[in-house]
Chains A and B, each alone.
Chain A
Amino acid sequence: MRAEWRQWVLLPVAAVIVGLVAGAILILISGDNPLTAYGGMAEGAFGSSDAMSRTLEKATPLILGGLAVAFAFKAGLFNIGGQGQLLLGAAFAAWIGFDLNLPMVVHLPLALVIGGLAGAALGAVAGLLKATRGTHEVISTIMLNFVAANLTDWLVSRDGPWKDPESGAVARSPQVLDSAALPRLGFLPVGFLVAVAVAAAVWWIVNRSVLGFEISTVGHNAKAATYAGISVVRITVVAMLISAFLAGLGGAIQTQGVNGRFEPGFNSGLGFDGITIALLARTNALAVVPAALLIGAMDAGSTLMQSRTDVPPEIISVIQGFILFLVAAPSVVRWLLRLREDIGGTKIDLASGWGAS
């Protein structure tokens, strides 16, 4: 039991520390004090109740982005299109939020679900292409990311149907109504609670439901799954759909809980952060929550880090890139720390489906 626990924690912790040290070297090269920088980062992330709320708010879409990637992993799929699905989810949730006038009990859930479904629709395209035409989902979701970005930009642009008529020349949607907005309980954003609940639900689907069993079977060995009478086509589409729904829901929560409307150009890079988080969590849905909190804390802390030092905020993404590399390469971490024992790590082997299967 204890050994298992170590396996869960050792690699992510080691990866984060090595990533921070690498970042510290860069900070040193740029002529600043890493401890001041990291101190500012930590205080900006956890130093006050406001800071905590920001961290939780930052972590919310990251939880869903991480879940989207981790869930697709289970089916042997690589959903790198989280960014596009999130944008579409955010835009559609905003639309429901400002265009309909309903009581809150209906309005808020409806906005969230429609946002999720908008993301799911984008994912379904990738899933169908994969299942019926054998197109690798990475390539189709990358293409769809660009399509989604341009489409949502247009929706709120001067020519678009969802532009706020009172915003002058500014491209954005009207404010969502209060009945569709996610409130905050003290310092705790309700969106975060929704995300945690969704994480638990995803964990249940993966580990306890028939669908989860089918998905894991397909993910482990598609051929065996076919022999067992599982339709690989169906599972591929369904898994992609759910994965994209999660990313779309992330966008919807962001709109209803933080932004209050849709404006182009936010949360860029979510799809890639999702990979880091999924791997840090070893694709376990529950572990996604702390992993997203860690990445979210780094993002939230970057503001105070900047005002304490002269370190440009890009350092955060560089550190996160290092962390991604390290969690995906346990052997490097073992070598760096001279560890003999097996430190676990998720064997991700999804690029394999790239060529003819």
Chain B
Amino acid sequence: MRKRLMMLFGLLAVFSLMAAACGSSTDEGTDTTGDSSATTEGGASSATTEGTGTSEAGGATDADCAAEETICIGLVTDVGKVDDKSFNQSAWEGVQEVGETLDATVDFVETTDSTDYATNISSFTDQGYDVIVTVGFALGEATTAAAAANPETYFIGVDQFQAETAPNVAGLIFPEDKAGFLAGALAGLLTKSNTVAQVLGTDLVPPVVAFKEGFDGGVAYTNPDAQVIATYHPGGLDVAFADPDWGATTARQAIDNGADVVFGAGGKTGNGALGEVAKDGGDALCIGVDSDQWETVPEAHPCLVTSAMKLITPGIVDLVTAWNDAKPTSGNFVGEVGLADYHDLASKVPAEVQTEIKELTPKVISGEVPTGYTPS
């Protein structure tokens, strides 16, 4: 019996050697930094590839990050994955982009349970990472605590409003209501049926509510006669953003109610809505959220007129670059929001509408035109 167990261990060892052999033949066994950007899609990419077969190979990386001359940037996702076509992915793309510019080592840890935020952050602080990006308002407290304990490390908290300013924390926040407002304004101008719809993730998450209420305000601003029909997913936090079927059926129900512009805001649930609207081949239009979803949801191309964007990727690049120039931002850093390009559907947007949106945009961004959203 003991022999069998030993055999299993042996099997494990053989596997690892095989893996090591495969690994070293592809990446030449170096801890280079640039290859992070080579493996962008798919998410399973960290620049710190282990070249040797021993289990302690990772130790080399720790030493590198603690060293003065090496820059290491780590990212901790909210519960979810770095290839979520949503905010985690946008943030990771920002880290990769700035990592390439600065020749930095970049890596991520995906959170599977919200009790692990602090642990996941400390996995980077333990290794001596220089910059740690945490994604989502839910990581706010863990980030603040980690920043207090690691004054040498710079933290960027996406969607984390800083009530108090700590020297080594920047909260990258976005006025989502303004992006939602612009999307709503466009939808109000584009609708022919005077009905526009919103298919939303859960109201348990603040950015979703901000997008929604901004959108309401935007429609009312450009088209007071239009009716906005909106609904939140009825499930818990664990399913509300991961239910594309619900998003699709809800979008269809909205179209059946006469809606001809649908705003899908809620992770994969929202993406399901976009895909459904696209089935009508452009008879109804759809608007994406967070990033330019023309890039992330190709199946929505027939209907996707624009996306209400919060530009997480450039926000992170700016913050890390400023930090690298020894001018780190503390407190809140308001990132850019706006509408994405019309791409192939520019023809669906009349010239006067394009002009109106172009003129409205700076007024909304500056606050001259209020969105009507007040954080509760």
- Assess A/B contact in the complex (Cβ within 8 A): yes
Q: Which residues of A contact B48 (CB under 8 A)?
A: 307
Within the assembled complex, what's the spacing in Å between the Cα atoms of A20 and B9?
10
Interface set, chain A 319-346, CB cutoff 8 A to B: 337-339, 341
Interface set, chain B 170-195, CB cutoff 8 A to A: none
Whether the Cβ atoms of A307 and B124 lie closer than 8 Å is yes
Contact of B45 among A38, A265, A266, A310 (CB under 8 A): A310
Within the assembled complex, what's the spacing in Å between the Cα atoms of A21 and B16?
11
Whether the Cβ atoms of B15 and A25 lie closer than 8 Å is yes
Contact of A14 among B5, B9, B19, B107 (CB under 8 A): B5
Whether the Cβ atoms of A28 and B236 lie closer than 8 Å is no
A282 to chain B, nearest CB (A): 19
Within the assembled complex, what's the spacing in Å between the Cα atoms of A258 and B119?
11
Within the assembled complex, what's the spacing in Å between the Cα atoms of A14 and B56?
26
Q: C-beta contact mask, B246-268 vs A, less than 8 Å → 1, else 0? A: 00000000000000000000000
Whether the Cβ atoms of B44 and A310 lie closer than 8 Å is yes
Within the assembled complex, what's the spacing in Å between the Cα atoms of A168 and B44?
34
Whether the Cβ atoms of B12 and A40 lie closer than 8 Å is no
Within the assembled complex, what's the spacing in Å between the Cα atoms of A28 and B19?
6
Within the assembled complex, what's the spacing in Å between the Cα atoms of A35 and B15?
8
With A149-B238, A337-B5 already in contact, the answer to whether A21 and B12 are too (CB < 8 A) is: yes
Whether the Cβ atoms of A32 and B112 lie closer than 8 Å is no
Whether the Cβ atoms of A36 and B16 lie closer than 8 Å is yes
Q: C-beta contact mask, B43-55 vs A, less than 8 Å → 1, else 0? A: 0111011100111
Whether the Cβ atoms of B204 and A34 lie closer than 8 Å is no
- The verdict on A44 contacting chain B, using a C-beta distance below 8 Å, is yes
Interface set, chain A 143-158, CB cutoff 8 A to B: 146, 149-150, 153, 157-158
- The verdict on B20 contacting chain A, using a C-beta distance below 8 Å, is yes
Interface centre among B13, B16, B376 (most CB of A within 10 A): B16
Interface set, chain B 1-40, CB cutoff 8 A to A: 1, 4-5, 8-9, 11-13, 15-16, 18-20, 22-23
- The verdict on A17 contacting chain B, using a C-beta distance below 8 Å, is yes
Q: Which residues of B contact A308 (CB under 8 A)?
A: 50, 58, 61
With A265-B79, A268-B113, A308-B50 already in contact, the answer to whether A153 and B210 are too (CB < 8 A) is: no
Whether the Cβ atoms of A33 and B16 lie closer than 8 Å is yes
Interface centre among A50, A267, A312 (most CB of B within 10 A): A312
With A21-B8, A307-B123 already in contact, the answer to whether A169 and B138 are too (CB < 8 A) is: no
Contact of B115 among A13, A266, A304 (CB under 8 A): A266
Whether the Cβ atoms of B120 and A168 lie closer than 8 Å is no
Q: Which residues of A contact B19 (CB under 8 A)?
A: 27-28, 31-35
Would you call the interface of chain A mostly helix, strand, loop, or mixed?
Answer: helix
Q: Which residues of A contact B57 (CB under 8 A)?
A: 36
B256 to chain A, nearest CB (A): 27
Q: C-beta contact mask, A12-28 vs B, less than 8 Å → 1, else 0? A: 01100110110011011
CB-nearest residue of chain A to B239: A149
- The verdict on B245 contacting chain A, using a C-beta distance below 8 Å, is no
Whether the Cβ atoms of A169 and B236 lie closer than 8 Å is no
A276 to chain B, nearest CB (A): 16
Whether the Cβ atoms of B58 and A40 lie closer than 8 Å is yes
- The verdict on B337 contacting chain A, using a C-beta distance below 8 Å, is no
Size band of the interface chain A makes with B = 35 or more
Within the assembled complex, what's the spacing in Å between the Cα atoms of A267 and B115?
7
Whether the Cβ atoms of A267 and B113 lie closer than 8 Å is yes
- The verdict on A7 contacting chain B, using a C-beta distance below 8 Å, is no
CB-nearest residue of chain A to B236: A149
- The verdict on B110 contacting chain A, using a C-beta distance below 8 Å, is yes
Contact of A150 among B20, B46, B235 (CB under 8 A): B235
- The verdict on A170 contacting chain B, using a C-beta distance below 8 Å, is yes
Whether the Cβ atoms of B138 and A263 lie closer than 8 Å is yes
CB-nearest residue of chain A to B110: A313
State how many residues of chain B have any CB contact under 8 Å with chain A. 64
A59 to chain B, nearest CB (A): 12
Interface set, chain A 184-199, CB cutoff 8 A to B: none
Q: Which residues of A contact B119 (CB under 8 A)?
A: 54, 300, 303
Within the assembled complex, what's the spacing in Å between the Cα atoms of A224 and B209?
59
Within the assembled complex, what's the spacing in Å between the Cα atoms of A268 and B1?
37
Q: Which residues of B contact A34 (CB under 8 A)?
A: 12, 15-16, 19
B83 to chain A, nearest CB (A): 10
Interface set, chain B 71-110, CB cutoff 8 A to A: 74, 79, 81, 107-110
With A33-B50, A168-B161, A258-B115 already in contact, the answer to whether A17 and B22 are too (CB < 8 A) is: no
- The verdict on B375 contacting chain A, using a C-beta distance below 8 Å, is yes
Whether the Cβ atoms of A264 and B204 lie closer than 8 Å is yes
Contact of B55 among A28, A39, A299, A338 (CB under 8 A): A39
Q: Which residues of B contact A35 (CB under 8 A)?
A: 12-13, 15-16, 19, 53-55
With A168-B161, A169-B209, A308-B58 already in contact, the answer to whether A33 and B12 are too (CB < 8 A) is: no
Q: Which residues of A contact B50 (CB under 8 A)?
A: 33, 36, 308-309
Interface centre among B56, B81, B116, B124 (most CB of A within 10 A): B116
Q: Which residues of A contact B237 (CB under 8 A)?
A: 153, 171, 264-265
Q: List 21 A-B contacts (CB under 8 A).
A: A13-B5, A24-B16, A34-B16, A35-B15, A36-B57, A39-B58, A54-B119, A157-B203, A169-B210, A265-B236, A266-B113, A267-B113, A268-B238, A303-B123, A306-B109, A306-B123, A307-B58, A307-B127, A308-B61, A310-B45, A313-B110
Residues in B lying within 8 Å of A, measured CB to CB: 1, 4-5, 8-9, 11-13, 15-16, 18-20, 22-23, 44-46, 48-50, 53-58, 61, 74, 79, 81, 107-110, 112-116, 119-120, 122-124, 126-127, 137-138, 161, 202-206, 209-210, 234-238, 375-376
Could you list 15 further interchain pairs (A-B, Cβ under 8 angstroms) beyond the known A27-B19, A38-B55, A314-B112? A14-B5, A21-B12, A24-B12, A33-B53, A34-B16, A50-B122, A150-B234, A157-B204, A158-B209, A258-B115, A259-B115, A268-B238, A307-B127, A310-B46, A312-B44
Residues in A lying within 8 Å of B, measured CB to CB: 10, 13-14, 17-18, 20-21, 24-25, 27-28, 30-36, 38-40, 44, 48, 50, 54, 57, 146, 149-150, 153, 157-158, 168-171, 254, 258-259, 263-268, 299-300, 302-304, 306-310, 312-314, 316, 337-339, 341
Shortest 10 CB-CB contacts between residues of A and residues of B? A39-B55, A169-B206, A35-B16, A265-B237, A33-B19, A171-B204, A308-B58, A149-B236, A337-B4, A266-B114
